Chain A
């Protein structure tokens, strides 16, 4: 169960993206980006397992539920999983600030890439504002999601210390 925790929590978020919350049109990009953010965080948190295959599968599920092109959110999740798992990552001393900076760079790149991909898919420039708004919201929400996932993880695994800040303390 503990090993499945990352995948299950992301699955929960994927289902939440399809729920009719009644969000305004400009906020449509936020919930799928939270899924991507969770994939990134789970990959960055040491001692947890969310393999690229799982990340891509969950992204594919988000594609299925959204009715959009298959492979779009799978690709986003895969990129987040790859970046989140770079060698020498958080467990070896990077603090929260560094992780946040990496996320800002990643979400900016994903925003631009996603916008270009969507425009290429439709052969026309699509509205960039919802993507930019979603990216900014994803940057702001990052601490909440990260600490939320750490809380879930610690609740399940009960480590002696919070390993993410091992190097800085």
Chain B
């Protein structure tokens, strides 16, 4: 028995493995430390990450080109196959829109007349820049995208990001030439919204799925499936009136189905909507390093603070359509 026990003790691993195992232990420890530092949003970690992401941007942009081209080719094939149906649908839509055009012109004249009677102040236009998605962030934690616009293009943290379909997310991190967009569907995304024609206030929260949760609706609110959801602007960072999606689901479990296809984004526009709340949030302004890394925050990232009236978003998908570069949206 004693001999067997001693044999067990004698069967040790070769001594040359000891440094390797020590290194492995050290690496496990390092991973744990990095996770903790990421969790608390340490400034050094966030700054290092920003710098590295900025450095890797050209590589990512080059790597994403084939995927983007492949997607575009597939979309073209799909559109060619459905071309005749699409023409019929567009003809029908065109007839309908002609009627709407007449009504809109009538309403425009009426609004202009009423504004002149009220001596109303003109709403400022929104500047915007259009770029494209160069990288996706995938995993259990985040739904974000890297875009090829950065501080050099005048971008700041907290700006709304839209595409032709509606709101996509907002910028949470900005380097010199790239920025990270936190998508609506991300766990950390909270957008104050108005729902339906009555403008019922609520909060659209991401849960990493394709639809958003619709929370904090008043008791007995008249909200129905199919109602339009748009930004309320009550957070003081997003413009009011940006369309998000439509209400889906049933009473008690209402969801928002975003208009924008968040899984296959390509061209997006960043709205330069500066507010005092944004100036506080942007670390370059406030001097808080890395405050916009994706470290989770216990508070909603869109707290309703502003009571001052904000300009209404006026840059529409028509205005922003087209290629890259910066352009000024008309009011």
Contacts and interface: CB of A to CB of B under 8 A. Distances in A.
B133 A25 contact: no
B67 A70 contact: no
9 contacts: A20-B265, A21-B136, A23-B138, A65-B56, A75-B28, A78-B27, A121-B35, A127-B209, A131-B140
Interface of B: 20, 23-24, 27-28, 30-35, 37-39, 45, 49, 52-53, 56, 59-60, 63-64, 67-68, 71, 133-146, 173, 180, 185, 187, 207-210, 262-266, 294-296, 298
A102 B52 CA distance: 35
Contacts of B207: 127
Contact of A71 (B23, B32, B265): B32
A67 interface: yes
A46 interface: no
Given A20-B133, A25-B263, A52-B20, A69 B60 contact: no
A88 B304 CA distance: 60
Contacts, number: 158
B208 A126 contact: yes
Given A15-B59, A15-B60, A78 B209 contact: no
Contact of A127 (B34, B49, B208): B208
A103 B298 CA distance: 36
A69 B136 contact: no
Interface of A: 15-25, 28-29, 31-32, 52-53, 56, 60, 64-75, 78, 82, 114-115, 117-118, 121-123, 126-127, 130-131
Nearest to B138: A28
Nearest to B136: A20
A66 B138 contact: yes
A131 B138 CA distance: 11
B208 A24 contact: no
Given A24-B263, A52-B27, A71-B31, A18 B63 contact: yes
Given A64-B49, A127-B208, A71 B30 contact: yes
Given A78-B28, A122-B296, A15 B137 contact: no
A24 B138 CA distance: 11
A16 B34 contact: no
Nearest to A87: B13
A71 B137 contact: no
A111 to B, nearest CB: 10
Contacts of B64: 18-20
B209 A71 contact: no
